[in-house]
Amino acid sequence: MIPVKGVTDQKIAVLGLGRSGLTTARALRAGAAEPICWDDNPAARARAEDEGFACRELTKPGAFDDIAALIVSPGIPHLYPRPNPVVRAALRAGVPVDNDIGLFFRSVATSEWEEFDTAPKVIAVTGSNGKSTTVALLHHILEHVGRDSQMAGNIGRGVLDIDPPRDGGVVVLELSSYQTDLARALTPDVAIFTNLTPDHLDRHAGMGGYFAAKRRLFAEGGPDRAIIGVDEDEGLFLADQLSEGPADDRVIRVSSGQKLSGDAGWSVFARKGFLSEYRKGRQAGSIDLRAIAGLPGAHNHQNACAAYAAARALGLAPRVIEAAMQSYPGLPHRSQRIAEAGGVFYVNDSKATNVDSAAKALSAFKKIRWICGGLEKDGGLEGLKGATGEVLKAYVIGREAAQFAMQLDVEAEVCTTMAAAVTRAMAEAEPGETVLLAPAAASFDQYDSFEKRGEDFIAEVQARLKE
């Protein structure tokens, strides 16, 4: 655990008592603060009280009179579409509002670091898609070479729940826009921006607010090295803002699908399955990504470029990174090959919760029997047009499956349930085809999470393969 610094004998309010909220309360207590907790869910409050934490209704008059700060869990809105009532009460009382990411960055370094031969590093990854794979791949590379590495944030453990990093250790964080938007301290050594596509627009009042939340990690974080995906205009703009000129190699530009100019300082890009690194106009490394089973498709090649660039920024050699990538197994629910039978492949990409990530999954495979549908996100399915060329047929799940199916530009069968969709897709699949779950929608109309949806897909496939 990372004890929170600078809070001795202070009363700190914690709003939201899920995984990150309870961990925050524990870390505050470890830092000699007095956490004052609240959650609208009585069961969550009961769990906190069982651990000895005091709970207080924070919207009552005077509730913030003795509170030094309010720490808000990621899922709770602090501004758009409207502030949570507790957050608004804190704002009116002039109480600073922060989150666990801000507490982490102000608390992770200790006096012990001065005695280390190599100071620990914090690498933070943000963007719309590919964050989890980039973090997991980089963590895998570091473990492969024997570096002490921990994953935290939206993947692995909560940021305050990890062990204090040791001599030469690396902490790799996955940070969502919810987390970067509110944190009062953001000071990574290396920051990565993967890409930007529409998502969470209601939470950020549009695309501009969404990009601004991501940009804070760089503009306010001041990383020593910034790795920026430049396949969208926002990434190009961000790289330009952070760079002092074409030869400034503090910015590493990353792309999938386009060759970047070798004169632009430091760049890493992938084309036709080959990763290339250029520095100061010369090629410094290359990797054939096509045979790496854990990284299928151009979208994963972009993730590979970002992780490669971060590993290079830490001083690792190209051939060492390539050897580590070869053994990367991939992440569950992200282009995860779960079975092969009768010449048919079965792939679980339940994490494809928006249109852009689903389109990228569709581009990674041939002859697809596509299971899709769920809780449709803002913006509709317009972004899928032109991405369904390899789709033989769609099998649509979800409570609004019929409406979802009407928006697709391929033959679609309304199945509603996962069981029906898997049954129909498997019955019609032929050798050389892929049955792919890539929903292009959130899971919450039928499942508690995308993980549960993916697990259901796996269970249905495995059950029918045993028949």
The CATH number that applies at residue 79 is: 3.40.50.720
Q: Are residue 140 and residue 247 in the same domain, yes or no?
A: yes
The CATH number that applies at residue 300 is: 3.40.1190.10
Residue 43 lies inside a defined structural domain of this protein: yes
% of the chain beyond a pLDDT of 70: 99
Residue 178 in this model has a pLDDT that exceeds 70: yes
Q: Are residue 379 and residue 461 in the same domain, yes or no?
A: yes
> Tokens for 74?
């990621």
Give the range among 176-185, 194-203, 209-218, 314-323 with minimum mean pLDDT: 194-203
Q: Is 177 annotated as a binding residue?
A: no
Residue 230 lies inside a defined structural domain of this protein: yes
Residue 62 lies inside a defined structural domain of this protein: yes
Q: CA 25, CA 132: separation in Å to the nearest integer? A: 26
Q: Are residue 365 and residue 244 in the same domain, yes or no?
A: no
Q: Are residue 64 and residue 39 in the same domain, yes or no?
A: yes
Residue 6 lies inside a defined structural domain of this protein: no
* Total domains present in the chain: 3
Residue 376 lies inside a defined structural domain of this protein: yes
Q: CA 241, CA 219: separation in Å to the nearest integer? A: 9
This prediction has a pTM of: 0.86
Residue 356 in this model has a pLDDT that exceeds 90: no
| pLDDT at site 247 | 82
User: Of the residues 98, 133, 148, which one is the last residue of a structural domain?
Assistant: 98
The pLDDT of 136-156, averaged and rounded, is 95
Q: Are residue 167 and residue 196 in the same domain, yes or no?
A: yes
User: Of the residues 269, 298, 326, which one is the last residue of a structural domain?
Assistant: 326
Residue 1 lies inside a defined structural domain of this protein: no
Q: Which residues of 277-287 are buried (b: 16+ CB within 10 A; e: fewer)?
A: bbbeeeeebeb
Helices (H), 243-373: 297-313, 318-326, 355-363
Query: Which structural domain range is residue 46 located in?
Result: 11-98
Q: Is 300 annotated as a binding residue?
A: no
Q: How confident is the model at residue 186 (pLDDT cuts 50, 70, 90)?
A: very high
Q: Is 272 annotated as a binding residue?
A: no
Residue 375 in this model has a pLDDT that exceeds 90: yes
Q: Is 327 annotated as a binding residue?
A: no
Q: Are residue 190 and residue 252 in the same domain, yes or no?
A: yes
Q: Is 132 annotated as a binding residue?
A: yes
User: Of the residues 66, 98, 130, which one is the last residue of a structural domain?
Assistant: 98
Residue 4 lies inside a defined structural domain of this protein: no
Average pLDDT score over the chain: 94
Q: Are residue 94 and residue 117 in the same domain, yes or no?
A: no
List pLDDT tens digits, range 251-266: 999 999 889 876 668 9
Q: E strands along 76-180, which residues?
A: 97-98, 121-126, 149-153, 170-174
Q: Is 449 annotated as a binding residue?
A: no
Closest C-alpha to 221, from 100, 102, 71, 73: 102
| pLDDT at site 263 | 63
Q: Are residue 291 and residue 362 in the same domain, yes or no?
A: no
Q: Is 131 annotated as a binding residue?
A: yes
The CATH number that applies at residue 375 is: 3.90.190.20
Q: Are residue 142 and residue 272 in the same domain, yes or no?
A: yes
| pLDDT at site 262 | 60
Residue 282 lies inside a defined structural domain of this protein: yes
List pLDDT tens digits, range 89-122: 999 999 999 999 999 999 999 999 999 999 999 9
| pLDDT at site 264 | 62
Q: Are residue 202 and residue 266 in the same domain, yes or no?
A: yes
List pLDDT tens digits, range 28-76: 999 999 999 999 999 999 999 999 999 999 999 999 999 999 999 998 9
Q: Are residue 299 and residue 376 in the same domain, yes or no?
A: no
Q: Are residue 309 and residue 426 in the same domain, yes or no?
A: no
How does DSSP classify residue 163?
Answer: P
| pLDDT at site 378 | 75
| pLDDT at site 224 | 95
